[in-house]
Amino acid sequence: MKPAQALRRPLAVTLFLLMLASAAASRQLRGITVSGEAFVSPKPWRHPPSFSIPQTLHSLSARPASNRYQQHQSPVTLPAFDHATVRAFFSCRASDHGTSSHVHSARGSGATDRPHVYSPKLRLTTVLSILFWLLSMFPYMHHSRGGIHRFQKLRYAGLLSFALGLPTLVPKVYRALLVRRKVDSSCMMLGASIGAVALGDYAEAAAVSSLFAVSEVLEGRASSKSEEALSAVARDLGPGTARLLDDDGEGELETRVPADTVAVGSAVSVPVGEKVPCDGIIVAGATTFDESTITGESRPVRRSSGESIPGGAVNSGPARIVMSTTAPSGESTVARLSRLVEDSKRNRSQTETTVDRLAALCAPPVFIAALLMCTIPWRFGPTAGRRWSRKGLVAMVAACPCPLVISTPVTYVAGLTNAARSGIIMKGGAVLEALAKVKSVALDKTGTLTEGNFALRHLKLMDNVKRKDTLEHLALIESPSSHPLATALVEAARNEGAIVPKDVVVKNHTILDGEGVVASIGDKIVHSGNTRLFQRLGLFEALPEKDKELADKWAAAGETVGFMSIGDHGIVCSYSVADSVRPEAKDVIHQLHDLGIDVYMITGDRKEAAVTIGSQVDLASGKVYSGLLPEEKLDVIEMKKAASKASGGNVLMCGDGVNDAPALALADVGVAMGGGAALAMETSDVTLTGQDLNKLLYSIKLGKRAVRIIVQNFAFSLAAKAIVVGLAAVGVHSLWVAIASDVGTMLIVTTNGLRLLPSARQNQ
């Protein structure tokens, strides 16, 4: 029989099955719209979110920054965020086994496309496909026993198995070839299946289609597990409703409203067991709050009337409180964290991008080469044709980069979920990758190495200056500032009974970066700040020598020294405030050194105070950079980046203040302490939701672990591919071996990546 005649019937059967598969897939593909590279499914969510998130690129300084991430600025409601997290996760995962071009993008049109890779229908067809595949193998199992003729007809069960896999394969091939005009692994799998059917090897065709379906289920399971973990993080961040009180809190009537509709200044009731919907101030009642979701503090914190409370905290009892909201839901602490978590799924790492590009570049030539191997040798006879066709089909399957492509996003999403559950919000897998390369860490002093809880230690008045008037002026000029030092001065004035007259107006209050503050109080200009400010004003030189020596003594003890001047009177007082070093700071620095990381302190404080704090955490004086303005901090970061560039290392900056924001943006990795300024949180790559420096250490270790797992997955995947190619070269060219190797490798690398998901103990 001629080769053409031998192939006629299998090809006819294959074409008929393809027609059936296309008809079955038409319902799934109906209504699809294409915009650029985005593939948008019309299938709605169960509860479709109705919000849009305009994206803006923040520019914090004229200096070029190495990390710039897109920020969402409009409010994001928490019910919608639960959907946005899942949708954003699937916008970065490789659900079609092969290239980044299959990404279902929700950007642009705002449509939602929930993948069906773990649907019950897919699982059912996968089970049936495997059963028919096993039936098709009976003739081969009984060949040695002389029973091949008895089970001969069971060979055709392989065609049923192949047909059951077509509704999964055909839509993917349609999108790849006709929508994106690219060849991916689904094209290779379909080509290998059709080739096996054409050769009459129905069992091998069934092996390709059924095991490909198994890989889809495995990938869907991995994605589903990560999705559930991310959704749990979203649910923990805050409530969807608020109990709004009538008559500004004077009445008892409560109305449940969506949290994002609560206006600033509204009176809201928070009963025991419920979450605070927005940032606010308690106006009635006293109770304890569980703020672990926001700050990571496991112990309940007691708060009473007049104290602020962040959105997302849980009223642990024993009493209901009434609060006045100070920020809309979309601008609260919990909403900022929500946006940071959402952003983390949109920023793909360099490794993911590189792997996808390599897969996209390698797939077409391999596919074409395999087609040539399956066609040209037939000119030299059926024996050569069948032998080389089998080799070509094995090459198609072996060249599929499924394990390589899926292992990276699964590992990074698992790592991001682990970090979020630990109170560490990262802006994408790129940050995990950058953390793994950190070789230098620059730490701010105030609020980072220290607790940021200042207390007034000394207040030295100049001659003929009244203490009461001085404290009143300090309270007036410092109260608009959120700096911890200003808070300490205002608190000290309040504790000493300083009363600020209501008729006094503070005008033109201005924060002088790295120096202090200035304002007009009455008809006088008042300055409060550090030595640098008064040296610039020319007032420090007039200070008596004994007062200068006293200030030096305070600074040598590790205290922060400041002065205040009023009008033409010059400096009227000097003061010092002290902060305590974080108890974990010394141990964290030692562990960073053990990882081979250099640690530095950069601060705007005086050298004496900075060196004293440095000595308490075992930082040598050469590792302390003091007296720095915000722009001078940038110079230090640039210097460290230039020094680390030769070794391929990254520079990490950790701070919490507004003046740290430019340095956080310039560093390779910017880390903001969660209790700091909102601007620092928005411009950083990592936000620590609390005041524990151990989280900084954990984030670096997590990044190193994620990259280590990816390297393991790469090595194992490439080794498995090499073994299959080697077996084919020596004559063992079985599709069963190739597809089993592909699916087995995917199972192993996916399971390995999922090890980064938080454990049950960590979730508690």
pLDDT of 607: 85
pTM of the prediction? 0.61
The answer to whether residue 697 is domain-embedded is no
Q: 496 and 612, same structural domain?
A: no
Boundary of a domain, candidates 578, 598, 627: 578
Strand partners, 321: 270
The answer to whether residue 639 is domain-embedded is yes
Boundary of a domain, candidates 557, 578, 599: 578
The answer to whether residue 605 is domain-embedded is yes
pLDDT of 52: 30
Longest dimension (CA), the chain: 119
Q: 273 and 152, same structural domain?
A: no
Mind telling me the catalytic residues?
Answer: 444
pLDDT of 597: 94
The answer to whether residue 284 is domain-embedded is yes
More confident residue, 451 or 639: 639
Q: 573 and 478, same structural domain?
A: yes
Distance CA 84, CA 345 (A): 10
Q: 475 and 358, same structural domain?
A: no
pLDDT of 84: 34
Angle (CA) 151 154 158, round 5° = 145
Q: 170 and 204, same structural domain?
A: yes
Q: 201 and 117, same structural domain?
A: yes
Distance CA 718, CA 715 (A): 5
CATH number for the domain harbouring residue 535: 3.40.1110.10
The answer to whether residue 652 is domain-embedded is yes
SS3 400: coil
E strands, 319-465, in order: 321-325, 424-426, 438-444, 455-461
SS3 labels along 64-75: CCCCCCEEECCC
- Number of domains the chain contains: 4
CATH number for the domain harbouring residue 259: 2.70.150.10
Q: 91 and 205, same structural domain?
A: yes
Q: Which helix (H) or strand (E) holds 519?
A: strand 516-521
Give tens-digit pLDDT for 404-423.
777 777 788 888 888 888 88
Which of the residue ranges 64-73, 256-265, 518-527, 685-694 would you say has the lowest mean pLDDT? 64-73
CA 164 from centre of chain = 38
The answer to whether residue 567 is domain-embedded is yes
Asked if residue 527 has pLDDT above 70, the reply is yes
Asked if residue 759 has pLDDT above 70, the reply is no
The answer to whether residue 524 is domain-embedded is yes
Q: 194 and 73, same structural domain?
A: yes
Q: Answer yes or no: are the C-beta atoms of 153 and 132 closer than 8 Å.
A: no
Question: Phi and psi for 650 in degrees, rounded to 5?
Answer: -110, 155
Q: 729 and 645, same structural domain?
A: no
Q: 139 and 66, same structural domain?
A: yes
Boundary of a domain, candidates 578, 594, 616: 578
Give tens-digit pLDDT for 204-254.
777 777 767 776 666 666 556 555 554 555 555 555 678 888 755 455 567
Expressed as residue numbers, the domain containing 310 is 241-334
CATH number for the domain harbouring residue 658: 3.40.50.1000
What value does the mean pLDDT of the chain take? 73
Q: 258 and 163, same structural domain?
A: no
Q: Answer yes or no: are the C-beta atoms of 604 and 660 closer than 8 Å.
A: no
Give tens-digit pLDDT for 18-72.
444 444 444 433 333 333 333 333 333 333 333 332 332 233 333 333 333 333 3
Percent of the chain with pLDDT over 90: 14
Q: 323 and 194, same structural domain?
A: no
Give tens-digit pLDDT for 269-324.
898 888 888 888 999 888 888 776 565 555 677 888 888 888 878 888 788 899 99
The answer to whether residue 694 is domain-embedded is no
